[in-house]
């Protein structure tokens, strides 16, 4: 079973297909026969956890205290189908209770994809969401690996799929819009490039004689061509999925003219994901991860939110020896003030989008006051280091 939620809609709806692959029996550390060419790929801890994190956002209330879940009155959540492969059986949290779903084998992915595609075809304004977290590599196209990759010694690529050409095919098959979120590496594999017949098939053949029919298409990739995607050690949510869910949870949006609605479409979502990856890297130094995006067609909102987007704020003070002597603060031009007093650490706070005076004060009056007046805090993040020069 992979359909974990379905709500029949009288008109357009949003249909989600989410796949997380952490268990690879035929790769290094797996419990099956090792693939002839495992490509140095190992078992993954993050995909099942990241998948669950993404699904919790799908099912969260639209105005939860900790951030918004899915909300789109024009295309409500209509179905969620999920596949997951993990070292231990995993129960996914759903509105109907915890459910165990099918594993992410190549056949199961194909079947779930075809059902998802059929749902998208059912209405001209339907929205599709395709999420994948697992192993991927790049050759001429981006290939994603199913759980049973490497099972067949003579045809190891039989159980992967060509994501790039799947996208080209879908955009000729539907009238609505699709958002692809791909949390996978794109490291270039010489072994695959030098092997004739190694190219995996797409999930759907692209008929190039057909014109593009979709309204809009957004592809947000975890990293650039030839690069790796990362996750913290110990089976935590990946960097990309954390940034993606953060952006979707009320940290981006453009106000619709003449309305109180804040729309999240491909352009502002792609920018927000990229910005949040950069923002979090400020506190977690390491190898950078830069998202890549492809947005085309008209601006169709994935989300329509009814509250002002939030901004993740990070203030610091340099030189650092002055941190314990200053109060860092932000004061909204509409009224309201937040402050961190005399603490030797970075000040992090979430605030509504808007204009703020940003500054630092020495309560003793010895050190000079620092002020950046009328700073515009734009979602998803704002970072500033104030400098004290006595």
Domains along the chain with CATH numbers: 3-305 (3.40.50.1460), 310-387 (2.60.40)
* Cis peptide upstream of residue 319 (ω within 30 degrees of 0): yes
Q: What is the 3-state secondary structure (H, E, C) of the chain?
A: CCEEEECCCCCCCEEEEEEEECCCCCCECCCCCCCCCCCCCECCCHHHHHHHHHHHHHHCCCCECCECCCCCCCCCEEEEEEEEECCCCCEECCCCCCEECCCCCHHHHHHHHHHHHHHHCCCCCCEEEEEEECCEEECCCEEEECCCCCCCCCCHHHHEEEHHHHHHHHCCCCCCEEEEEEECCCCECHHHHCCCCCCCCCCCCCCCCCCCCCCEEEEEECCCCCCCCCCCCCCCCCHHHHHHHHHHCCCCCEECCCCCCEEECHHHHHHHHHHHHHHHHCCCCCCCCCCEEEEEECCCCCEEECCCCEEEEEEEEECHHHHHHCEEEEEECCCCEEEEECCCCCEEEEEECEEEEEEEECCCCCCCCEEEEEEEECCCEEEEEEECCC
Asked whether 299 and 265 are in contact (CB, 8 A), the reply is: yes
Packing angle of the helix pair 239-248, 46-59 (nearest 10 deg) = 10
Alpha-carbon span 25 to 281, nearest angstrom: 33
CA 294 to centroid of chain Cα atoms? 14
Alpha-carbon span 227 to 141, nearest angstrom: 14
Q: Which residue has the tokens 């270039």?
A: 188
According to DSSP, residue 324 is labeled G
Alpha-carbon span 267 to 360, nearest angstrom: 35
pTM greater than the 0.85 cutoff: yes
pLDDT per residue, tens digit, the chain (390 aa), is 799 999 988 899 999 999 999 999 999 999 999 988 888 899 999 999 999 999 999 999 866 555 689 999 999 999 999 999 999 888 888 888 889 999 999 999 999 999 999 999 999 999 999 999 999 999 888 999 999 998 988 787 889 999 999 999 999 999 999 999 999 999 877 666 545 456 789 999 998 999 999 999 999 999 999 888 999 988 899 999 999 999 999 999 999 888 888 999 999 999 999 999 999 888 777 778 989 999 999 999 999 998 899 999 999 999 999 999 999 999 999 999 999 987 889 999 999 999 999 999 999 999 999 999 999 999 999 999 999 987
């Amino acid at each position: 079973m992979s359909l974990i939620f379905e709500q029949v809609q009288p008109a357009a709806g949003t249909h989600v297909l989410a796949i997380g692959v952490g268990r690879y029996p035929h790769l290094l550390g797996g419990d099956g026969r090792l693939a002839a060419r495992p490509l140095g790929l190992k078992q993954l801890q993050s995909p099942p956890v990241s998948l669950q994190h993404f699904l919790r956002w799908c099912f969260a209330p639209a105005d939860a205290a900790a951030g918004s879940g899915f909300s789109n009155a024009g295309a409500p959540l209509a179905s969620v189908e999920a596949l997951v492969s993990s070292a231990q059986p995993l129960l996914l949290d759903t509105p109907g209770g915890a459910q165990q779903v099918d594993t992410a084998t190549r056949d199961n992915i194909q079947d779930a994809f075809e059902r998802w595609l059929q749902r998208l075809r059912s209405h001209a304004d339907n929205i599709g969401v395709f999420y994948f977290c697992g192993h991927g590599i790049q050759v001429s196209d981006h290939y994603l690996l199913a759980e049973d990759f490497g099972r067949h010694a003579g045809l190891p690529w039989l159980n992967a799929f060509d994501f790039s050409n799947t996208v080209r095919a879908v955009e000729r098959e539907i009238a609505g819009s699709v958002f692809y979120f791909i949390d996978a590496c794109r490291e270039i594999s010489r072994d695959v490039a030098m092997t004739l017949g190694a190219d995996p098939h797409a999930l759907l053949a692209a008929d190039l004689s057909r014109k593009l029919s979709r309204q809009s298409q957004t592809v947000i990739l975890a990293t650039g061509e030839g690069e790796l995607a990362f996750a913290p050690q110990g089976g935590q949510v990946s960097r990309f999925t954390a940034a993606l869910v953060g952006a979707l949870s009320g940290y981006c949006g453009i106000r619709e003219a003449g309305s109180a609605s804040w729309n999240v479409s491909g352009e502002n979502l792609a920018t927000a994901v990229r910005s949040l990856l950069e923002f979090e890297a400020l506190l977690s130094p390491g190898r950078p991860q830069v998202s890549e995006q492809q947005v085309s067609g008209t601006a169709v909102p994935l989300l329509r939110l009814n509250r002002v987007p939030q901004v993740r704020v990070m203030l610091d003070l340099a030189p650092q020896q002055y941190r314990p002597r200053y109060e860092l603060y932000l004061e909204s031009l509409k009224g309201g003030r937040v402050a961190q007093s005399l603490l030797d650490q970075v000040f992090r706070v979430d605030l509504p989008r808007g204009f703020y005076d940003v500054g630092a004060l020495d309560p003793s009056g010895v050190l000079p006051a620092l002020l950046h007046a009328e700073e515009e805090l734009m979602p998803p993040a704002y970072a500033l280091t104030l400098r004290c020069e006595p």
